[in-house]
Amino acid sequence: MTDLAACDLASIYPAPTPRVLAKARPAIDRHSAKFIEMSPFCVLATSGADGSVDASPRGGNPGFVSIAGPNTLLMPDRSGNNRIDSFRNIVEGSGFVHLVFFVPGIDETLRVGGKGKVSADPDLLASMVEFGKPPRAVLRIDVSEVYFHCGKALMRSKLWSTERVERSVMPSISQVIHDQTSLGEPEGQDVVYERYKTQL
């Protein structure tokens, strides 16, 4: 396989249209605000001081990411695996973050870029109680760029199709990790699912 250089890319891909470039906005407008308010899921991307990149799924009730202003988002951090890769990247690296928001049933996605800061302010945590408990920390994103992605990727993937993969085609996540590490005791997915429900 031959790797492409920057000059090769220009020969393969035409320049983006003025409309594509202009859709990148410097702040959250009414359309992007409505999308964020409907979104129960996003992917958070961060970069570390060593140049490594992390992408992490984040979810909650629709609107779990709060809009605190046209250039400010607040994302609560819920129970997870405690690796804190994203937060470590933010506090030790450049602080740059990108999010891609999804809304079930809508093929378009929303991309938001900016710089992140992590807070454990008690009043802020208390204001973001969900699933009966406050978050452990809150990510503040100072937004610098917002734009909608067209729906082609989700249309090609049929992500919102009613055709579903049966969960049973894969072993439980507990079994997978046991097979990979020989650590812990394997559990069925039904047991894992019930435990997850108490840890949201």
Task: Look at residue 141 in the predicted model and tell me its pLDDT.
Answer: 98
Q: What value does the mean pLDDT take over residues 135-155?
A: 96
Q: What digits encode the pLDDT tens for the residues 147-177?
A: 999 999 999 999 999 998 998 999 999 999 9
Cβ(147)–Cβ(27) below 8 Å: no
Task: Look at residue 94 in the predicted model and tell me its pLDDT.
Answer: 87
With residue 81 as reference, give the H or E element that holds it.
none
* Whole-number percent of the chain with pLDDT over 70: 100
Mean pLDDT across the chain: 93
pLDDT-wise least confident of 14-23, 56-65, 102-111: 14-23
Task: Look at residue 195 in the predicted model and tell me its pLDDT.
Answer: 87
Q: Are residues 173 and 110 in the same domain?
A: no
Instruction: Tell me which residue range forms the domain holding 175.
Output: 165-200
Q: Is the pLDDT of residue 7 over 90?
A: no
Q: Are residues 27 and 125 in the same domain?
A: yes
Tell me whether residue 69 is in a domain.
Answer: yes
With residue 18 as reference, give the H or E element that holds it.
helix 18-22
Q: Are residues 157 and 199 in the same domain?
A: no
Q: What value does the mean pLDDT take over residues 8-23?
A: 89
DSSP assignments along 141-188, one per residue: EEEEEEEEEPSHHHHHHTTT-S----GGGS--HHHHHHHHH--S----
- The domain total for the chain is 2
Q: How confident is the model at residue 120 (pLDDT cuts 50, 70, 90)?
A: very high
Question: Which residues neighbour 95 within 8 Å (Cβ) at sequence distance 6 or greater?
Answer: 115, 116, 117
Task: Look at residue 143 in the predicted model and tell me its pLDDT.
Answer: 98
Q: What digits encode the pLDDT tens for the residues 40-94?
A: 999 999 999 998 899 999 999 999 999 999 999 999 998 888 889 999 999 998 8
Q: Where are the alpha helices (DSSP H) in 47-145?
A: 85-92, 122-126
Q: Are residues 174 and 133 in the same domain?
A: no
Structure tokens that stand for 195 in this block: 């435990």
Q: Are residues 199 and 152 in the same domain?
A: no
Q: How confident is the model at residue 32 (pLDDT cuts 50, 70, 90)?
A: very high
Q: What value does the mean pLDDT take over residues 106-121?
A: 97
Q: Are residues 147 and 169 in the same domain?
A: no
Q: Are residues 17 and 115 in the same domain?
A: yes
Mean pLDDT: which of 3-17, 100-114, 154-168 is highest? 100-114
Q: How confident is the model at residue 2 (pLDDT cuts 50, 70, 90)?
A: confident
Q: Are residues 101 and 192 in the same domain?
A: no
Q: Are residues 113 and 171 in the same domain?
A: no
Tell me whether residue 130 is in a domain.
Answer: yes
Q: Model pTM?
A: 0.92
Tell me whether residue 1 is in a domain.
Answer: no
Q: Are residues 18 and 113 in the same domain?
A: yes
CATH number at residue 14: 2.30.110.10
Q: Are residues 152 and 138 in the same domain?
A: yes
Q: Are residues 136 and 172 in the same domain?
A: no
